[in-house]
């Protein structure tokens, strides 16, 4: 085996280890910290992740890096690395994942609200907001399921905040842009009442 072949085999082994660490994590949360990748793959692990990304994109996947709020954006060692879909799912794909359109609507509305509240709000306020469209028992049931799935977190202080899965799977800017577009369409389709003619 030539030296080039040996180097290629070593690279493939390291990429395999990186995938295993991100997919088969033994932590409570999925994904893996940068410092764990550094420990197993060496100090050049960011370059290896770039190579892995190139390969994953061929099958519709990508490595997504999430930085904790208290960590600096450039601090990869404290960031968490996940393997996720590279393209968003179509609406027709959603039922295959076990979610109803009502659940998606509640999730979208809740996240949009939380994003405007610095990612955390009073739980009762969120329920009251959603009660304008759904019955209270239905709202609470959906919020509970979304919390179990990791999209939301119900906190002991009576608040609700975004969960790890939202950070990984949801594009905050795209979601807010969609809600702005919807609001604009509703406004244009419901013009204000014509003012009465008061001229004499």
- Tell me the three state secondary structure of residue 152: strand
What pLDDT, on a 0 to 100 scale, did the predictor assign at position 164? 87
CB proximity list for 152: less than 8 A, separation 6 or greater? 107, 110, 143, 146, 160, 161, 162, 163, 166
Find out whether 62 and 53 touch, Cβ atoms under 8 Å: yes
Determine the average pLDDT of the residues in 7-34: 81
Confidence of residue 184 (pLDDT cuts 50, 70, 90): low
Q: In whole angstroms, give the CA distance from residue 146 to residue 108.
A: 11
Asked if the model's pLDDT at residue 194 lies above 60, the reply is no
pLDDT in tens, 104-155: 889 989 999 999 899 999 999 999 999 999 999 999 999 999 999 889 999 9
What does the domain layout of the chain look like in residue ranges? 8-87, 92-189
Tokens representing 59? Answer: 């099958």
Which comes out higher in pLDDT, residue 27 or 150? 150
User: pTM of whole model > 0.85?
Assistant: no
CATH architecture of 92-189: Orthogonal Bundle (1.10)
In this structure, are residues 110 and 126 in contact, taking their beta carbons and an 8 Å threshold? yes
| CATH architecture assignment, domain 8-87 | Alpha-Beta Complex (3.90)
For residue 83, report the phi and psi dihedrals to the nearest 5 degrees.
-105, 120
**pLDDT at 186 exceeding the cut of 70:** no
**Per-residue pLDDT tens for 62-81?**
898 988 765 566 789 988 89
Any bridge partners for residue 159, and if so which? Answer: 122
């Amino acid at each position: 085996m030539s030296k080039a072949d040996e180097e290629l085999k070593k690279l493939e082994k390291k990429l395999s280890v990186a995938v295993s660490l991100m997919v088969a994590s033994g932590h409570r949360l999925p994904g893996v910290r940068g410092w764990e990748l550094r420990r197993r793959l060496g100090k050049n692990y960011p370059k290896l992740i770039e190579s892995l990304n190139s390969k994953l994109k061929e099958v519709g996947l990508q490595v997504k890096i999430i930085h904790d709020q208290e960590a600096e954006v450039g601090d990869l060692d404290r960031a968490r690395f996940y393997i996720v879909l590279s393209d968003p799912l179509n609406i027709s794909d959603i039922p295959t994942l076990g979610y109803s359109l009502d659940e998606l609507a509640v999730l979208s509305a809740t996240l949009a609200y939380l994003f405007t509240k610095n990612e955390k709000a009073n739980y009762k306020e969120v329920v009251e907001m959603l009660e304008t469209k759904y019955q209270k028992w239905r709202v609470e049931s959906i919020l509970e399921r979304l919390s179990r799935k990791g999209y939301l977190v119900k906190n002991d202080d009576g608040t609700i905040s975004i969960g790890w899965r939202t950070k990984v799977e949801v594009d905050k800017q795209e979601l807010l842009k969609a809600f702005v577009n919807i609001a604009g369409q509703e406004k244009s389709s419901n013009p204000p009442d014509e003012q009465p003619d008061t001229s004499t």
